[in-house]
Amino acid sequence: MVCSRCKMVVRSELEKLRLTPITVELGEVELQEETIENQKAALQSNLNLLGFEIIDDKNSKTIEKIKNLIIDLVHYKNNELTVNLSEYISQNLLQDYNTLSNLFSEVANTTIEKYFISQKIEKVKELLMYDELSLSEIAIKLNYSSVGYLSNQFKKVIGFSPSYFKQLKVNKRKQIEDL
């Protein structure tokens, strides 16, 4: 789940099955019920139709937690990172970063750093499309050391410059969950 509407949809599906959600957060649901074995198949089916899935195994849960931390950081906390990314993830998950990094690379087929960059580039694309901030302001907002660094990273990932992207006026953004 990557947005408020996603959380509302999941909460609604849980309530349709007469389940009582205590919290519905990015990638996590806490229920009042001890067990949901009777409703689990129906819930899985309903959520799959809506593009969601239930994640039960420990490794997948950890990967989702890492992704959700990065999504939250880039898209909702204006990327106000006061420590480096590895420390941020390690501190929030209370696990060794090397272990998390190896697991993420193995399961997600990309590195945490590349995933972080792809999220930042999507945020840059979003901000460019809104056309409210200059490239300099976007660089500052997303903690890039310079406009040049942002432009180089953008071109490396997307294939053309931010200014050319802005001129296209075509929606070339990806859904967060598709990254």
pLDDT at 1: 43
pTM above 0.85, yes or no: no
Token pair, residue 57, equals 């195994």
Classify burial at 121, counting beta carbons within 10 Å of its beta carbon; exposed 0-12, middle 13-18, buried 19 or more.
buried
Q: Which helix (H) or strand (E) holds 168?
A: helix 162-168
- The correct CATH number of 58-179 out of 3.30.70.260, 1.10.10.60, 1.20.1070.10, 1.10.1060.10 is 1.10.10.60
Q: Are 128 and 166 in contact (CB under 8 A)?
A: yes
Residue 154 above 90 pLDDT?
yes
Give the model's confidence band at 159: pLDDT under 50 very low, under 70 low, under 90 confident, else very high: very high
Domain ranges in the chain are 4-49, 58-179
**Number of Cβ atoms within 10 Å of the Cβ of 119:** 21
Share of the chain above pLDDT 70, in %: 90
Residue 68 above 50 pLDDT?
yes
Summarize pLDDT for 29-43 with one digit per residue, the tens: 888 888 778 888 888
Residue 26 above 80 pLDDT?
no
Average pLDDT, the chain: 86
